[in-house]
Structure 1
Amino acid sequence: MPSIIDKSATSKKRKSSKESGVPSSKRRAVAENASAETMARIQQLEDQISESRKHYNNIATLISMLSEDGSGANPDLAVAVSLCRVFSRLIAGGNLTEPERAAENEKIVVQWLRERCREYQRLLESIVRGSDASSQITALTLAMRLLNERATHIPGDDTQAWTSGLFRNVFEAVIEARDGQALRSEFLEKFLKPYDDVAYYTFMQVGCVFAEADFTPSSGTNASHSEYASTARSTEILETLVTILSTCDTVPTPEHKYTNFYSKASKQNKKLLSVNSHKKRAQDAWLSILRNNLSQPLRKTLLRIMVHHIEPWFNRPELLMDFLTDSYNVGGATSLLALSGLFYLIQEKNLDYPQFYPKLYSLLDADLLHSKHRSRFFRLLNTFLASTHLPATLVASFIKRLSRLALNAPPPAIVAIVPFIYNLFKDHPTCTFMLHRVIRDKELQAELEAEGMDDPFDPEESDPDQTGAIESSLWEIESLQSHYHPNVASIARIISEQFTKHSYNLEDFLDYTYQGMLQAELGTGEKPLKKVPVVEYQIPKRIFTDRLLEEDGGVDTAPGNLLRNLWDFS
Structure 2
Amino acid sequence: MAPSKKRSVSSAQTTEPSSKTAKMDLNSKVDEILRSKKHANDVFDLLQVLQSEKEKSVLGAVGACCRLFCELLEHKELYLGSLPAEDDALRGYFSAEDKYCIFMRHRYNSCVEILLEHLSHEQHEVKESALVCLMKFAEAEGQNPLEDLDWTEHYSFPRELILAVVDRLLSRTVDNSLLISRLQEFLEKDDVRYYVMSSIRENVGQVMDKSKGAVMPVYQSNVFTLMSSISVPAKESELTNFMVKQEAKHQDWKAAKLLEHKRVFERMWLGFLKYKLPSNMYKKVLVILHDSILPHMSKPTLMIDFLTAAYGVGGAISLLALNGLFVLIHQHNLDYPDFYRKLYNLLEPSVFHVKYRARFFHLANLFLSSSCCHRWSTIIPACLSVCGVSHLPVYLVAAFAKRLARQALTAPPTALLIVLPFIYNLIRRHPSCRVLIHRPSKGDELLEDPYLMDEEDPAQCCALESSLWEIKTLQKHHHPDVAKAAMLINSPLSEQEDDISEVLEITAYELMESDLKQSQTKNVPLEFESATHFLKGTVLGQHFCLE
TM-score class normalised by the smaller sequence:
0.7 to 0.9
Q: Pick from 340, 343, 347: which aligns with 2:323? A: 340
Paired position in structure 1 for 2:509 = 515
* Shift in Å, 1:242: 2.3
**Aligned residue runs from structure 1 range 382-461, under 5 A:** 382-386=365-369, 387=373, 388-438=390-440, 448-449=442-443, 451-461=445-455
Q: Pick from 159, 165, 182: which aligns with 1:186? A: 182
Asked whether the 8 Å contact 2:177–2:225 carries over to 1, the reply is: no
Secondary structure at the aligned position of 2:330 is classed as helix
Asked whether the 8 Å contact 1:257–1:273 carries over to 2, the reply is: no
Paired position in structure 2 for 1:370 = 353
2: CA distance, partners of 1:46 / 1:500: 81
Paired position in structure 2 for 1:64 = 48
Q: Structure 1 vs Structure 2: percent identity of aligned residues? A: 31
1: CA distance, partners of 2:22 / 2:493: 90
**Aligned residue runs from structure 1 range 475-554, under 5 A:** 475-525=469-519, 527-529=521-523, 533-534=527-528, 537-544=531-538
Asked whether the 8 Å contact 1:96–1:110 carries over to 2, the reply is: yes
Paired position in structure 2 for 1:5 = none
Q: Deviations over 1:3-25 (max 9, x none)?
A: xxxxxxxxxxxxxxxxxxxxxxx
Secondary structure at the aligned position of 2:467 is classed as coil
CA distance 1:233–1:264, change in 2 (3 Å):
farther
* Shift in Å, 1:229: 9.0
1: CA distance, partners of 2:246 / 2:236: 22
Paired position in structure 2 for 1:130 = 121
CA distance 1:519–1:115, change in 2 (3 Å):
same
Paired position in structure 1 for 2:24 = 39
CA distance 1:507–1:98, change in 2 (3 Å):
closer
1:116 matched to 2:107:
yes
2: CA distance, partners of 1:262 / 1:137: 20
Asked whether the 8 Å contact 1:75–1:127 carries over to 2, the reply is: no
2: CA distance, partners of 1:266 / 1:247: 29
Asked whether the 8 Å contact 1:152–1:265 carries over to 2, the reply is: no
The one-letter code sitting in structure 2 at the alignment partner of 1:417 is V
Q: Deviations over 1:275-301 (max 9, x none)?
A: 212222222222222223211111111
Kindly tell me the number of residue pairs found equivalent between the two proteins.
491
1: CA distance, partners of 2:41 / 2:524: 96
1:260 matched to 2:241:
yes
* Shift in Å, 1:98: 4.7
CA distance 1:227–1:321, change in 2 (3 Å):
closer
Q: Pick from 105, 110, 117: which aligns with 2:94? A: 105
CA distance 1:181–1:536, change in 2 (3 Å):
farther
1:156 matched to 2:148:
yes
1: CA distance, partners of 2:448 / 2:535: 49
Asked whether the 8 Å contact 2:142–2:243 carries over to 1, the reply is: no
Asked whether the 8 Å contact 2:175–2:222 carries over to 1, the reply is: no
The one-letter code sitting in structure 2 at the alignment partner of 1:326 is A
1:139 matched to 2:130:
yes
CA distance 1:206–1:232, change in 2 (3 Å):
farther
2: CA distance, partners of 1:542 / 1:105: 104
CA distance 1:514–1:186, change in 2 (3 Å):
closer
Q: Deviations over 1:9-50 (max 9, x none)?
A: xxxxxxxxxxxxxxxxxxxxxxxxx7798434x456544543
Asked whether the 8 Å contact 2:208–2:214 carries over to 1, the reply is: no
Per mean C-alpha deviation after superposition, the further-off stretch among 482-491 and 303-312 is 482-491
The TM-score normalised by the length of structure 2 is 0.80
1: CA distance, partners of 2:448 / 2:208: 66
2: CA distance, partners of 1:429 / 1:243: 48
Per mean C-alpha deviation after superposition, the further-off stretch among 82-91 and 492-501 is 82-91
Asked whether the 8 Å contact 2:141–2:157 carries over to 1, the reply is: no
Structure with higher Rg: it is: 1
Unaligned residue ranges in structure 1 (runs of 5+): 1-33, 213-224, 439-444, 553-570
* Shift in Å, 1:364: 0.8
The one-letter code sitting in structure 2 at the alignment partner of 1:239 is S
The TM-score normalised by the length of structure 1 is 0.77
Q: Pick from 364, 370, 373: which aligns with 1:381? A: 364
Secondary structure at the aligned position of 1:303 is classed as helix
2: CA distance, partners of 1:52 / 1:229: 51
Q: Pick from 278, 282, 285: which aligns with 1:299? A: 282
* Shift in Å, 1:331: 0.9
Q: Deviations over 1:171-209 (max 9, x none)?
A: 222333957555333222x322x3222222221222122
* Shift in Å, 1:382: 0.5
The one-letter code sitting in structure 2 at the alignment partner of 1:473 is S
1: CA distance, partners of 2:289 / 2:420: 30
2: CA distance, partners of 1:131 / 1:521: 52
* Shift in Å, 1:308: 1.4
1: CA distance, partners of 2:209 / 2:101: 31
Paired position in structure 2 for 1:14 = none
Paired position in structure 2 for 1:360 = 343
Asked whether the 8 Å contact 1:75–1:135 carries over to 2, the reply is: no
2: CA distance, partners of 1:535 / 1:48: 96
Per mean C-alpha deviation after superposition, the further-off stretch among 72-81 and 429-438 is 72-81
2: CA distance, partners of 1:226 / 1:160: 29
2: CA distance, partners of 1:405 / 1:527: 34
1: CA distance, partners of 2:114 / 2:47: 9
Secondary structure at the aligned position of 1:198 is classed as helix
The one-letter code sitting in structure 2 at the alignment partner of 1:145 is K
1: CA distance, partners of 2:101 / 2:515: 82
**Structure 1: 4+ residue segments shifted above 6 A:** 34-37, 225-231
1: CA distance, partners of 2:505 / 2:29: 68
1: CA distance, partners of 2:501 / 2:453: 28
2: CA distance, partners of 1:526 / 1:35: 76
Paired position in structure 1 for 2:227 = 245
Asked whether the 8 Å contact 1:195–1:262 carries over to 2, the reply is: yes
1: CA distance, partners of 2:525 / 2:66: 83
The one-letter code sitting in structure 1 at the alignment partner of 2:63 is V
2: CA distance, partners of 1:500 / 1:80: 72
Q: Deviations over 1:394-434 (max 9, x none)?
A: 11111111111111222222222111111111111111111
Secondary structure at the aligned position of 2:497 is classed as coil
Asked whether the 8 Å contact 2:418–2:504 carries over to 1, the reply is: yes
Secondary structure at the aligned position of 2:290 is classed as helix
Asked whether the 8 Å contact 1:328–1:335 carries over to 2, the reply is: yes
Asked whether the 8 Å contact 1:280–1:315 carries over to 2, the reply is: yes
Per mean C-alpha deviation after superposition, the further-off stretch among 283-292 and 327-336 is 283-292
Per mean C-alpha deviation after superposition, the further-off stretch among 500-509 and 75-84 is 75-84
